[in-house]
Structure 1
């Protein structure tokens, strides 16, 4: 029997699974790491730390179930999006990676977005640039660290660095490349005109391929470090949002994905490259040449609950928080949380946005804080859902994934705030599974992505339906949630 490996390089940890061709996960491992904050608003990670953690989880999954490396038929990758990895001519890392939640490039974002408007290339770019995107981070490096910019020979996305260490090949694929915002999303190629007008070296941008193409093979060096066998094919894979979609079986148009991880995303597959005229959402290339992903992103989803757990309540685990929140009625008795702890992307594109607890009174307890955070995160995702539906893209159900799919309470909050039934798959570690499925398609084990998902992905029988009374309560507080940002927006810059 052949096995497939899926690797997901996340923001807080790297995970890997071994999956058989019937979709059964036989081994899983995870290793955590932290975000470095050298200055307020900065967010960096070391690619070498990523690699070390990846080596450890690969060795663990092979040894845990005594998997014969000779039976591994293919490896696929998933990873946190937008981050900038710079390597020199020897393939060595030039500086720590600037990741998606970094806020330092505000000046560069303004410059790039003005250029996009001036050049009238919105129909090909389909996005505005935000802080934390690779192109704005790269321009920041060029303008603030010229010595590092001069050393750089190639830019990569986070997971692409791991694939480089596995195969020795420097390349990217379209889903992650389109999230750099140095990409012509409509034509699925680098936006060389924009790159040149920004004065950035065009040769920094490596060849770009489709997610299911084979990128290379495990090298002798990588085999010695990881315990894998030399010559195993490695498939490109994609950004974590896309691999989670595959792991949830969302490879057809018209299904909304609600992912609550460190960040959060509302996304839907589309067969046409449509975009929000106000550029509040993102349109990225999806897993097939004729598909696109319309996505709204929240920077502070699971991150908000993690912050509350660790920095405010000093709780031991998330299960404790969920039990606390279950004691509180929908609406948190008037307590509303704005989850903008590191600024916000959709719908505000505001790196200065701040978090707020609004409506505190003497009756509120720790339990209210927890539920208000869970609700506030979901309100922020509803912002994205409403924009997507305004584009004429409608779906009558939501598939939840990430940490927000592991809590029955949070599933109900999503159903009530979105006013849509919420489904969950039986898949654990959706991004890893998606990466493994992509690998299977790439090496020919499965005839197509659609056939693979039909075969391998199944749903839980319980469907979480919206509760009418809760929908009404949340509709009221959602309007207040939106007003809170509007009325405080001008004050955030002074904090």
Structure 2
């Protein structure tokens, strides 16, 4: 193989847009571009996207890539696709989408989830899938279509997820990768295979389930039709790809058990690599993109709190807000001199799964400055991360170094606060396209560019800095964390009464506080 003329493409199908990235085998990025697409809200609680918009974004992005780089299509050795979880795409025998995809934000299937749990038992569903039944997953969406759109259900050949749909458009072959299998509660999280008996008991025809692939398996090659639309060379290998969070973990270099990918953005989260499936109903379990691995995930909404502060209070200083925010917060001592922030600005996801929770500043006084509030926000988000980590550790899951990606990772101060709060070392990769890089790595493994995941990460992932906990700060934050937990416990009943039915009926709960799956607005699991 001529490595000098070998390139890998990562396609990242996200909630707001599709990113196309082109990498060398050594992980150098030659191109990245994002194409946005709309989200539709046909009625309260219904959130959809048009799979045709995903495909158009892929085609437009690839053609822009070729135009900008001049790379010959024949020099692309493999393509990997990652995508958001929980998007249900029913397709007919010709692979055409029969309706808009109900994405993870959609929560119209509460009744179907309750019915399944009553009929089969939440404990049984959790035992097989490792996850509670919830509208954010695919299972309830399939049953909703069966009950409300029987004509579409009768014409459905397969139910795909978003990356599986793009893989089909590229290759003409159906697939489900093991990291996206947890979208279906008939997917056995331990064996990574279908439980067809459970599928039938839920009322879903087993033949609707696509064939399962390991994430680096080559599903097929780019067809002549897809080549004409994208500019790719016909015959280019396409691998199954994976869940966006799982691909981001790989692209951040988290491959060994105990290594963690931490996402610091509007919807923050963490993914812990494990060598066995550990079920915890307060977290999210899925297969990993590498063989014999799983990931335990948690998600928070607090990362957007600084954006809220910027939007509402920065005024004319919008452009340099984050630099000024870091400078102001750095002048405040750890613990924010008595100011505590609960980062539940849109409810909260794991591990509390409380759509009624709200953001709280505790300890405001006339001495409180902007710097205090900024640092308290940073510390509150770090507390939410620690809450997820200790929840995982309580299940016997080891947590070692955290590999941090996302906008917050650019702040040395914020990363240090997270290290001090969690007591863990943080490593920050140089690439800001971790999910797309992870998808491209899978393509490289499948096409023979890399021997395995460890080989790929050694060649492609480079750390720009490492930050370790400061002992004195750790001691301060132990006490702050206990207060953080107590504050929520004392307020949760008040949140329920204050927010209550008005918030629940607005449909905003899952749409804001549950981007990774889990229990928001869902029936209870085998807690």
Q: Common fold, TM-score beyond 0.5?
A: yes
Q: Alpha carbons of 1:102 and 1:206: their partners in 2 closer, same or farther (altered >3 Å)?
A: same
Cα-to-partner distance string for 1:42-81 (whole Å, 9 max, x where unaligned)? 3322211111111121112222121111111111111111
Please show how residues 226-241 of structure 1 align to structure 2 within 5 Å: 226-241=230-245
The 1:306–1:138 alpha-carbon spacing in structure 2 relative to 1, beyond 3 Å, is farther
Matches within 5 A, 1:272-421: 272-276=276-280, 279-298=281-300, 300-303=301-304, 305-306=306-307, 309=310, 320-321=321-322, 323-324=324-325, 326-328=327-329, 329=332, 330-331=334-335, 334-339=339-344, 341=346, 343-350=347-354, 352-359=355-362, 361=364, 363=366, 371-421=375-425
Report the 3-state secondary structure (helix = DSSP H, G, I; strand = E; otherwise coil) of the residue aligned with 2:458: helix
Total equivalences in the alignment = 490
User: Equivalent of 1:82, from 77, 81, 86?
Assistant: 86
* Whole-Å separation in 2 of the counterparts to 1:315 and 1:137: 45
Would the alpha carbon gap of residues 381 and 97 (structure 1) be closer, same or farther in structure 2, given more than 3 Å must change?
A: farther
* 1:266-277 aligned within 5 A: 266-276=270-280
Q: How far is 1:130 from its partner?
A: 2.4
1:96-175 alignment runs, 5 A limit: 96-115=100-119, 117=121, 120=124, 122-175=126-179
The 10-residue stretch of structure 1 (234-243 or 262-271) with the greater mean CA deviation from structure 2:
262-271
Preserved contact between residue 313 and residue 366 of structure 1 (Cα < 8 Å):
no
Say if 1:304 and 1:32 are closer, same or farther in 2 by CA, change over 3 A.
farther
| Selected match of 1:178 from 166, 176, 182 | 182
Deviations 1:305-334 (A, max 9, x none): 555555776788686245335424355552
Match of 2:496 among 463, 470, 490: 490
With normalisation by structure 2, the TM-score equals: 0.84
Whole-Å Cα distance in 2 between the matches of residues 287 and 481 of structure 1?
38
**Matched residues in 2 for 1:133 and 1:315: separation?**
42
Q: Which moved more, 1:433-442 or 1:364-373?
A: 364-373
What is the aligned counterpart of 1:21 among 13, 22, 25? 25
Q: Is the 8 A contact 1:82 1:179 kept in 2?
A: yes
1:475 aligns with 2:470: no
Supply the distance in 1 between the matched residues of 2:378 and 2:117 (Cα, whole angstroms). Answer: 33
Aligned to 2:453: 449
- With 437-446 and 377-386 compared, the bigger mean Cα shift is at 377-386
| Two-structure CA RMSD over aligned residues (Å) | 2.8
Structure having greater relative contact order (Cα 8 Å, sep ≥ 6): 2
CA distance in 1, matches of 2:26, 2:327: 37
Contact in 1 for aligned 2:216/2:442 (Cα 8 Å):
yes
Q: Deviations over 1:171-195 (max 9, x none)?
A: 1111112233331111111232232
Give TM-score, length-normalised by structure 1.
Answer: 0.90
Shift of 1:123: 3.4
Give the secondary structure class of the aligned counterpart of 1:6.
Answer: strand
Residues 24-39 of structure 1: matches in 2 within 5 Å?
24-39=28-43
Residues in 1 aligned to 2:114 and 2:7: alpha-carbon distance in whole angstroms: 47
Match of 1:62 in 2: 66
Aligned residue for 1:493, secondary structure, equals: helix
Q: Shift in Å at residue 386 of structure 1?
A: 1.1
Q: Assess if the C-alpha contact under 8 Å between 2:271 and 2:298 holds in 1.
A: yes
CA displacement at 1:109 relative to structure 2:
2.9
Secondary structure of 1:129 counterpart: coil
- 2: distance between equivalents of 1:388 and 1:156? 30
Classify 1:13/1:313 alpha carbon distance in 2 versus 1 (closer, same or farther; 3 Å): farther
Change (3 A) 1:59 1:284: same
Greater CA deviation, 258-267 or 144-153? 144-153
Indicate how the Cα distance of structure 1 residues 90 and 340 shifts in structure 2: closer, same or farther if over 3 A, else same: farther
Identify the residue that residue 259 of structure 1 maps to in structure 2: 263
Q: Deviations over 1:250-275 (max 9, x none)?
A: 11111122123443322211112221
Gaps of 5+ in 1: none
Task: Look up the SS of the partner of 1:424 in the other structure.
Answer: strand
User: For the residues of structure 2 that align with 1:285 and 1:318, how far apart are their CA atoms?
Assistant: 40
* Deviates most, 391-400 or 313-322: 313-322
